[in-house]
Chain A
Amino acid sequence: DTGVSQDPRHKITKRGQNVTFRCDPISEHNRLYWYRQTLGQGPEFLTYFQNEAQLEKSRLLSDRFSAERPKGSFSTLEIQRTEQGDSAMYLCASSPPLAGGETQYFGPGTRLLVL
């Protein structure tokens, strides 16, 4: 399967713990995006990378959130000192360079529950 993959698919943690999610984009896609989706809402943009450079961060991304894409391939999203309000689906998407780059292809998401 050559689609966007995310790991883990589900994560349950206790408030105050740190969690890390991984996203593997489609091969040769140079742009990678993170979104957060809460129940009954559409996804909200968090941040995105072009290759290894993080180009933009949403105001939704508090100081407890950090994302990396060290070699321009996979990306990680870490949440420190989790809070119950962090419970959501975290979606990753990627898009190819140049022509066709307008379309983002989504992974299955990581569902986070903070107890």
Chain B
Amino acid sequence: AQTVTQSQPEMSVQEAETVTLSCTYDTSESDYYLFWYKQPPSRQMILVIRQEAYKQQNATENRFSVNFQKAAKSFSLKISDSQLGDAAMYFCAYRSYDDKIIFGKGTRLHILP
């Protein structure tokens, strides 16, 4: 069975600085999708970025980018120029062949003004 591990329960970063959130996963599949979702306090979960496993190029969305290491089964999220609005729970997620999404336990990100 696939698993997703986020080893950092909480992280803090100074506003305007860069922070990297870690995620590792375990799977025997060769083709899959990985996601980072953001869940602000009392607000709904929104997609931050997605990565197709068959693509070697790392996905980028404005200030958000990933470092996808397929062999190492690692999928970290880098947030550049952190803003107060980035404060949230961040979930790493894996989409399995049977269309389910498996989430990690999340990393709570604090932005320090």
Partners in one complex: yes
A interface, CB within 8 angstroms of B: 31, 33, 35, 40-45, 48, 55-56, 91, 93, 102-109
Contact of B75 with A by CB under 8 A: no
Least CB distance, A25 to chain B, in whole angstroms? 14
| A33 surroundings in chain B (CB, below 8 A) | 100-101
User: A31, A40, A105, A108: which contacts B99 (Cβ < 8 A)?
Assistant: A31
Asked whether B91 lies within 8 Å of A106 as measured between CB atoms, the reply is no
8 Å CB interface, B42-88 against A? 43-47, 50, 52
Contact (Cβ within 8 A) B106 A45: no
Contact A91 B47 (CB under 8 A): no
Q: Which residue of B lies closest to A50 (CB)?
A: B99
The residue in chain B whose Cβ has the minimal distance to the Cβ of A111 is B42
| Residue in contact with A105 in the complex, picked from B47, B52, B103, CB distance below 8 Å | B47
Chain A nearest Cβ from B29, distance in angstroms: 13
B25: Cβ under 8 A from any A Cβ: no
